[in-house]
Amino acid sequence: MAKSKSAYFCQSCGHETSKWMGQCPSCKQWNTLVEEVVEKASSRVPEWRSTAATPSKRTNKAAVIHEIVYTEEHRLETPDAEFNRVLGGGIVPGSLVLIGGEPGIGKSTLMLQLALSIPKIRTLYISGEESEQQIKMRAERLQQSSNANCFILTETSTQNIFKQIEVVAPNLIVIDSIQTLHSSQIESAPGSVSQVRECTAELLRFAKETNTPVFIVGHITKDGSIAGPKVLEHMVDTVLQFEGDRNHVYRILRAVKNRFGSASELGIYEMQGAGLREVSNPSEIMISQRDAPVSGVAISAMLEGMRPMMIEVQALVSNSAFGTPQRSSTGYDTKRLNMLLAVLEKRFGFRLSAQDVFLNIAGGLRVEDPAIDLAVVIAIISSQQDMPVKTSIAFAGEIGLSGEIRAVNRIEQRIAEAEKLGFDGIFISKFNTKGLDAKKYGIAIRPVATLEDIFRSLFG
């Protein structure tokens, strides 16, 4: 057996050094270097090749780019339209996809649903955290336990995993989770930087050379990043983030990195007792249904990634009972809220400095689109003046420090989404009307330049 050696790995970025240092020389983080026992790289043999004959070495040659023949890759479409949207149209053969999320958010449920929902291909679901009986119980709850092409393996050793892969010959592999796997080539504990990196490298080589798509589930740290070295996200082809508030039933699958499609797509799911249900029209669930209009509510046409949706902004303005007024927002940046309140007070004379302001984005979403600024301002003034705004009117515009309404991107998609949901009118910036054909829409488009114009139109 080859002689072993010890090295120090940064738990943040994965940098390797031969001696301990207080600060990582790569990412400049303090006290992140941890000693691990590793084996010499020269003696390593890929475990997935250990049971088969080693192929002959080949030498790649440089090619002129216009001589390279490109054929469009055939993607594997799943029955889940939201999942296909996030991946860019389906699963690419030979791709390595990393899915991260908080504990209990539904990562394992999503992956098991994926493995069970494609009966025409052979799927291998590998779990290092649950027993076969627990996985069977979850499959019964999902009401999809009759798939004869879905194989379950509870194993943490990569050597045994690759032996079973040769026996089963799957067309799709799911690993839950990468932090539980360990390779015999590395002597450190499972979940360490070197183990996570080595196991991922073995899966990556297997996926590329056998053209088999592999999905791996990864844990996240308390700050929301994928646990393990940062190089893990660079190695994989696609990084998906499964987000959501555990107090709400809605979950968001967001593409953080995608080599085969857009990194701005997202899918929305609803957690139910029988698993995750895809939400094809999120605008309808984000807007509350009321019998009569109430003050402090405005509807915004926003974009979440590449996807337009209508969202409800709720505001409550009341007299402060204490010396210092409160500024609280849920799902919206508090600093930006303070900026908008300062614009209202400085430019338009609304006395909000002695009043409490509470803001809430309905549905539990976290919104970063600046086009929601106009709806936030309208909701605040509607609550302060106790004058309701018609629920059939939508807003899309960014607010500048001088009170002007700035143009936002992809205004056509926002208008089309508002028209599809039956809104009568939408307020946009007049700078968005250049090149916009308003006649092709069945909704009244109302361009405005400043907040004063829209206040006069809505509140008189």
Domain residue spans in the chain?
1-42, 75-278, 287-459
The reply, when asked if residue 88 is annotated as ligand binding, is no
Domain 287-459 part of CATH 3.30.230.10:
yes
Question: What's the average pLDDT block by block, 10 residues per block, for the chain (460 residues)?
Answer: 70 80 86 73 52 53 86 85 91 94 89 90 92 91 83 93 94 92 83 85 93 92 71 89 79 89 85 86 72 86 86 92 86 94 91 91 85 95 92 93 92 91 92 87 92 87
State the pLDDT at residue 73: 73
The reply, when asked if residue 104 is annotated as ligand binding, is yes
φ, ψ (nearest 5 deg) of residue 293: -70, 145
Give me the helices (H) in 366-450, please. 373-385, 411-420
Instruction: Please report, as a single letter, which amino acid is at residue 53.
Output: A
Which of 271-306 are b and which e, b meaning 16 or more Cβ less than 10 Å from the residue's Cβ?
Answer: beeebbebbeebbeebbeeeeeeebbbbbbbbbbbe
State the pLDDT at residue 111: 93
* Contact between 184 and 162 (Cβ < 8 Å): no
The reply, when asked if residue 105 is annotated as ligand binding, is yes
Rounded to whole angstroms, the Cα distance separating 164 from 281 reads 41
The reply, when asked if residue 106 is annotated as ligand binding, is yes
The reply, when asked if residue 101 is annotated as ligand binding, is yes
Rounded to whole angstroms, the Cα distance separating 205 from 199 reads 10
State the pLDDT at residue 187: 78
User: 123-127 and 96-101: which strand pairing?
Assistant: unpaired
What's the topology of domain 75-278? Rossmann fold (3.40.50)
User: 250-258 and 266-272: which strand pairing?
Assistant: antiparallel
Give the pair of three-digit tokens for residue 420: 């599809």
Give the pair of three-digit tokens for residue 1: 């057996």
Query: Model-level pTM greater than 0.95?
Result: no
- The beta-strand segments (E) located in 11-136 are 16-17, 33-39, 96-101, 123-127
DSSP, res 224: S
